[in-house]
Amino acid sequence: MTSAGRGGFLEKLNAYLVQTGQPGAGKFRLPTEAEWERAARAGTRTRFSFGDATAGDDACGANADADPYAWWCGNDTPDGIKAVGTKKANPFGLLDMNGNAWELVEDWYGDYLAGSQTDPAGPKTGTYRVVRGGGWGGNLSYCRSAQRNGSLPADTGNAMGFRLARSY
């Protein structure tokens, strides 16, 4: 998969915007893993942008702190990805950063380098892409802002998605 996303969607979107002279033409892409986490944390240092979610279960049970903000196996009835905007936004105004769908990012999956880093870049190549955010069918702990996983680039499971970033 190229950095442009699944099935060439981003190449097609950017080409269309260029052809039609629309704002953002040629500038849309997947966010890096560091960009995604910054957006999910929204200036916070807790497990989630809405706090540490200690008012309940961290697996598939009820959690009163998380329920207004995230979809996970503890509150997902019926099963499946939900429409964006059915839960509260984070402090940056972003929706569904925790839970609902795992989100594909630009970086290849690999171990973090030792030591403190600012905006680290992932490996140049790999087998798996990083996915962030957790999905509707997983434990709440998988939805925390720092949680990461790897996914084959062609995986189109029923809990996979992506969001766009825009370069300036």
**168 falls within a domain:** no
Is 48 a member of any domain? Answer: yes
Do 137 and 61 belong together in one domain? Answer: yes
pLDDT at 2 over 70: no
Query: Is the pTM here over 0.85, yes or no?
Result: yes
Mean pLDDT in residue range 26-38? 94
Band (pLDDT 50/70/90 cuts) for residue 96 is very high
Q: Is 168 exposed, middle or buried (0-12, 13-18, 19+ CB in 10 A)?
A: exposed
Mean pLDDT, rounded, of the chain: 91
* Residue 151, pLDDT score: 94
Alpha-carbon distance of 24 to 47, in angstroms, equals 33
pLDDT tens digits, one per residue of 116-159: 888 888 899 999 999 999 999 999 999 999 999 999 988 888 89
Task: Give strand pairing partners of 162.
Answer: 104
At 69 the pLDDT is: 97
Centroid of chain to Cα 32: 10
For the record, the structure tokens of 105 come out as 């990012």
State which residues form the domain around 11: 1-30
∠ Cα 83 84 90 (to 5°): 145
What integer pLDDT is reported at residue 5 of this predicted model? 47
Q: Is pLDDT of 45 > 70?
A: yes
91 pLDDT tier (thresholds 50, 70, 90): very high
Q: Are residues 2 and 79 in the same domain?
A: no
How many domains does the structure of the chain reveal? 2
Give yes or no: residues 75 and 127 share one domain: yes
Q: Is the confidence at residue 74, as pLDDT, over 70?
A: yes
Residues 7 and 40 in one domain: no
Residues 17 and 84 in one domain: no
- Which secondary structure element, helix H or strand E, spans residue 162, and what is its range? strand 160-162
Residue-wise burial string across 111-129, b where 16 or more C-beta atoms lie within 10 A, e elsewhere: eeeeeeeeeeebeeeeeeb
- Taken in order 72, 77, 78, 81, the sign of the CA dihedral is negative
Instruction: Confirm whether 125 is domain-assigned.
Output: yes
Same domain, 26 and 68: no
* Range of lowest pLDDT (32-36, 75-79, 82-86, 148-152): 75-79
Residue 122 belongs to a domain: yes
Shared domain check, 131 and 54? yes
